Chain A
């Protein structure tokens, strides 16, 4: 798989986690856990995308 394909796949997994974790593991949390979780997932997606798009020029579509 090319780097940008991996990045997109990572983002897809993160998206699923953004739906599942708050309604299962973090259901009933009262602190900043949910806010941190969603922000952290987004930061990982940002990094994945940042790294992934770098591969476009080296790996032409």
Chain B
């Protein structure tokens, strides 16, 4: 085994052992019952809440996808990610204390339960769970695929892909089952810090190399000449809208982050969670986009290997193949960590929905068994998808936030405490999802193109929102008129 692979393996093993030690340590906090297993009985401290929120939100996309997007399409990638960031801060600052307080009063554990309770129908929750499953299983599979690819790069052989996806699946199941959200949140905290540290080291190395040689003026000149500091042809306003609208509602529709609002032990901890996320999110985004831009400047100047912008996801693997082996191992492991933190949080959140929204007629002990079984079952499904690398399902991962957008209007109405009949909530979710399904069916050979569809001249994301909102509002008005 060559030295680079050996160092990579050593860092990876250290990461796994530390993670396992933290997961087992977290068992001391676990108490019996569903509320503790899924939402820590609403007694999570602010710092851990902030790190688990951040690590869950930011997936392997940041250091692979976003770095590549900035490299290939320029500064627009920065705006795309920060539009999400500003919107999330607005949503959390305004709604988080209300949602947190209502979750306590009403005993919500799963995110779908919030909607069932507000609209007074378990069917609303069940439909929401169905949308979660269809939307999030591909997204989770992508994270598992990411770990497989990272291990192949780290060890320098395609044969390690299967080992990587098996390792990811094992860690997801272990860190979810050892102590439920306690082990997930505490390992998230450790992994979140690792992600941030790795990002800082990655940028420091690249800055020293590129800015140290070309100077800031040289970097600016190269990027400016190629139009990468302005809005490139890629970032037409239509594309910017299509990319950002689904992400603007991320904090409202992704169950793994909505559920994290329930967890802090008091309003002070909730405030710390949002502040911590604010600092982490801005820093991590700036790091990722600067890395992408500097990598492009270095490549254009002939200092770094040139990656074809059409293969932008190869930027980080290519750069790390020439970086110091220790740095390379730390960054690769941070990408695996980002993937696993996102995947285990989603799977635990989906399991809570199975327990609370589908198996609600069972007694608590059996509901928990249903949850444990779901964790294993969902992980096996994502593992199979990752193993087979089913093109259609992998493509669907890009559309996750678009598919989940169908839940945005019913969630917003719930958070604003606007009442509507259950049939209107069901019709709202179903119609929004149907719009996306039609767009996917029309692009069945390449579903990712659905994101850029403009039926009736309206961006698809906006059409989903409009359809779901109008139906829900009609229902609310009809209910009001009847009264």
**Taking beta carbons and an 8 Å cutoff, which residues of A are in contact with B?**
4-5, 7-8, 11-12, 14-15, 18-19, 22-23, 27-35, 38-39, 41-43, 45-46, 48-50, 52-54, 56-57, 60-61
Contacts and interface: CB of A to CB of B under 8 A. Distances in A.
Contacts of A33: 229
Given A35-B78, A54-B271, A49 B220 contact: no
Contacts of A35: 75, 78, 229, 289, 293
B294 to A, nearest CB: 12
A53 B278 CA distance: 12
Interface string B221-257: 0001001011100000100110010001000000000
A15 B90 contact: yes
B308 interface: no
Given A48-B93, A49-B92, A11 B86 contact: yes
B101 interface: yes
B82 A39 contact: yes
Nearest to B216: A32
Interface string B319-334: 0000000000000000
B82 A41 contact: yes
- Among A30, A38, A45, A48, max chain B CB count under 10 A is at A38
Contacts of A8: 90-91, 93-94
Nearest to B286: A39
Contact of B94 (A4, A14, A41, A42): A4
Contacts of A5: 94
A11 B89 contact: yes
A43 B231 contact: no
B98 interface: yes
A42 B230 contact: no
Contacts of B293: 35
11 contacts: A4-B97, A8-B93, A14-B86, A15-B90, A27-B231, A29-B230, A41-B86, A42-B82, A52-B93, A53-B96, A57-B268
Given A39-B286, A49-B275, A34 B79 contact: yes
Interface of B: 75-76, 78-79, 82-83, 85-87, 89-94, 96-98, 101, 220, 224, 227, 229-231, 237, 240-241, 244, 248, 267-268, 270-271, 274-275, 278-279, 282, 285-286, 289, 293
B275 A53 contact: yes
Nearest to A15: B86
Given A12-B90, A31-B220, A61-B97, A49 B79 contact: no
Contacts of B248: 15
A43 B283 CA distance: 10
Nearest to A11: B90
B224 to A, nearest CB: 5
The binding surface of chain B is classed by DSSP as helix
A52 B278 CA distance: 12
Contact of B86 (A45, A50, A56, A61): A45
Contacts of B76: 34
B216 to A, nearest CB: 9
A49 B267 contact: no
Contacts of B289: 35
B145 to A, nearest CB: 30
B72 to A, nearest CB: 16
A38 B230 contact: no
A25 B109 CA distance: 46
Given A11-B89, A56-B270, A56-B271, 8 more contacts: A7-B93, A15-B86, A19-B240, A38-B79, A39-B82, A42-B86, A49-B92, A50-B278
